[in-house]
Amino acid sequence: MGSSLRFNYFRWRYFRRFKLILFLASSLILIRFTKTSIFIDIYALLTKPLLPGSAQKEWISNGVRIEQQAKLILLEEDNKRLRELLSLQKSSNKKKITAAVISRTPSGWWQQIIINKGSIHGIKIGNSVVGPGGLLGRVQKVTPTTAIIQLLTSPNSRIGVWAPRTKRHGLLIGLGTNRPRLIFFEREPKEKPGDLISTSPASTLIAPNLPVGIIQLVNKQAMPSPYASVQLIAAPHAIDWVQIKLK
């Protein structure tokens, strides 16, 4: 009788241990093949009645408000761009052609753009190209239906410019950044920050009297000649429509 009870006790004990080992092994296998996603699901199910809490609700409200503000800003910017485009299109005539920017590469972001008008529209190499605000560059290459525009910010760009206040000429050189450099011809320039830079009123290679930029900084001590940094009025990095001035 005693031996029978002892046998049943040990059998129950070993069976219980076997079930525990089986449970642990099954759990490990489940974790291995589900990659713990089952525990994430269980946690989500248990915490669902508690969410969202007050903090989460505030985060959601702030996120929605920021999204709405961002959309409003984007709509305002889009409306501004469309108004500028409409203004360009209305001013198009036999001496001006409006075109869309259809291509630009990240590596040449400050160097060139490609537009959707070409030689069949009357565009020629050397034509001046303007955007909202002022001069952007010149036509560098033309196909029948497209044209490549060399921007004023291109390292290969060199154009003569004019300072209306001092009535002096200078050379605007692209640096591959958003601010080209103005090289003065005089050793002691009279130009100062805030001065307007334009194309020369007597220019024949470029359309005359076009706004170009505003002087931001003047370095009179630079060698071999003084120079100034110029902020272009027409932002080349944000242009999607241009106007070509025909000769």
pLDDT in tens, 211-225: 999 999 999 888 888
Asked whether the beta carbons of 174 and 153 are under 8 A apart, the reply is: yes
3 state DSSP class of 190: coil
Q: Outline where 121-240 has alpha helix (H).
A: none
What integer pLDDT is reported at residue 105 of this predicted model?
A: 76
Distance CA(78)–CA(145), nearest Å, equals 27
10-residue averages of pLDDT along the chain (247 residues): 53 61 60 55 59 58 66 65 58 74 82 92 93 90 95 93 90 92 88 91 84 92 87 86 86
| Domain positions in the chain | 2-51, 96-247
pLDDT digits (tens, 9 = 90+) for 154-179: 999 999 998 999 989 999 999 988 89
Asked whether the beta carbons of 154 and 145 are under 8 A apart, the reply is: no
Contacts made by residues 121-128, CB under 8 angstroms, sequence distance 24+: 121/97, 122/97, 122/246, 123/97, 123/147, 123/244, 123/246, 124/246, 124/247, 126/205, 126/247, 127/244, 127/245, 127/246, 127/247, 128/199, 128/206, 128/207, 128/210, 128/244, 128/245
Beta-carbon count within 10 A of 17 CB: 10
Asked whether the beta carbons of 242 and 92 are under 8 A apart, the reply is: no
Structure letter (DSSP) for residue 97: E
Asked whether the beta carbons of 191 and 174 are under 8 A apart, the reply is: no
For the full predicted model, state whether its pTM sits above 0.85.
no
What integer pLDDT is reported at residue 231 of this predicted model?
A: 92
pLDDT digits (tens, 9 = 90+) for 49-59: 555 555 555 65
Any idea which fold 96-247 has? Answer: Thrombin, subunit H (2.40.10)
What integer pLDDT is reported at residue 202 of this predicted model?
A: 79
